[in-house]
């Protein structure tokens, strides 16, 4: 795996430690030297597309927006864009040859919608939540909450004012968003689980000494997003096995899903979760979470 691919898999914004679980330090250094990965600060790295988006917006007298703006604000996303997202004013005529390397959006942004050459965090959220599929929007909203860009109540108020196409999806995302989600991988798995009736999977619920990725207490179900990033060493594998066995011996069903299936074959993941939901009965006395 190339370093830029590792950064993309980790949400477009990540740490040196996380990247080195997937590639060598030498490969990472070469990628930075060649401009394929950007070093933002001590131990912090991002996709070079963030810088590309700023250059593209400047060339078009536009504003970095949508997923490109989300990355600019330091929010991990499910799938980093391969081309910069740029918003230009309505009725602006852009020659076809200048459209080929950007994703263009047309809108008359207000001064409050822009910070420098990038849409504000609030405008970035509304743009993403109104235009992205539910799982991608949830990853953005979870990231924004996780990084303290706004509170859940502020997010609810933000989407309440939306109307038109995409407003329904935006409100669904805002209702489901949770700062406890650890990363876009986990957010995407939760988005799949939310589509399964009779389940209520909540991120990072403590079970004894453990804190699994997703938990449905009523049905004693644990969903684990198994990433190579966190299970690549022998000690990590050993601890993971002990954790799995301890949960099973306490009466929990543990379903484990690989990154490739969650991100690329969500139909397979949903099928397995649905099969469990169809046969599992709530445990008497289990707590129900809103």
Q: Provide the terminal-to-terminal Cα distance of the chain, rounded to the nearest Å.
A: 40
Average pLDDT over residues 205-210: 90
- Tell me: pLDDT of 281 over 70: no
Q: Which CATH class is domain 184-279?
A: alpha beta
User: Which residue ranges does the chain devote to CATH 3.40.960.10?
Assistant: 184-279
What's 287's DSSP letter?
P
pLDDT-based confidence at 67, cuts 50/70/90?
Answer: very high
pLDDT at residue 28, as a whole number:
93
The Cα–Cα gap between 239 and 199 comes to 28
pTM: 0.86
Which pLDDT does position 241 carry in this prediction? 85
- Mean pLDDT highest for which of 33-42, 137-146, 270-279? 137-146
Q: Look at residue 286 and tell me whether its pLDDT is greater than 60.
A: no
How does residue 233 score in pLDDT terms, banded at 50, 70 and 90?
A: low
As given in the structure block, the two tokens for residue 76 are: 């991990």
DSSP 216-267: ETTTTEEEEEE-GGGS-SHHHHHHHHHHHHHHHHTT-EEEEEEHHHHHH-HH
H or E element that contains 58: helix 49-59
pLDDT, residue 258, reads 93
């Amino acid at each position: 795996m190339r370093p830029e691919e590792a950064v993309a898999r980790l949400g477009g914004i990540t740490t040196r430690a996380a990247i080195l679980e997937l590639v060598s330090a030498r490969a990472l250094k070469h990628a930075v030297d060649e401009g394929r990965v950007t070093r933002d600060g001590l131990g912090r790295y991002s996709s070079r597309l963030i810088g590309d988006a700023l250059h593209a917006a400047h060339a078009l007298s536009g504003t970095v927006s949508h997923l490109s703006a989300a990355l600019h604000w330091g929010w991990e996303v499910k799938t980093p864009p391969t081309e910069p997202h740029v918003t230009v004013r309505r009725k602006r005529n852009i020659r076809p040859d200048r459209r080929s390397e950007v994703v263009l959006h047309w809108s008359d942004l207000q001064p409050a919608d822009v910070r420098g050459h990038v849409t504000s965090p609030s405008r970035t959220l509304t743009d993403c939540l109104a235009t992205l599929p539910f799982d991608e929007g949830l990853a953005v909203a979870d990231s924004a909450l996780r990084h303290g860009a706004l509170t859940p109540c502020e997010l609810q108020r933000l989407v309440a004012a939306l109307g038109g196409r995409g407003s329904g999806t935006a409100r669904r995302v805002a209702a489901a968003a949770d700062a406890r989600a650890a990363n876009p991988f986990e957010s995407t798995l939760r988005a799949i689980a939310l589509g399964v009736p009779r389940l209520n999977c909540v991120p990072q619920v403590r079970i004894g000494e453990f804190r699994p990725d997703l938990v449905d207490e009523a049905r004693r179900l644990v969903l684990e997003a198994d990433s190579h990033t966190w299970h690549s060493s022998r000690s990590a594998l050993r601890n993971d096995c002990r954790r799995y066995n301890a949960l099973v011996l306490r009466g929990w069903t543990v379903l484990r899903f690989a990154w490739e299936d969650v991100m690329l074959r969500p139909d397979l993941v949903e099928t397995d979760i649905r099969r469990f939901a169809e046969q599992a009965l709530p445990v008497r006395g289990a707590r129900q979470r809103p």
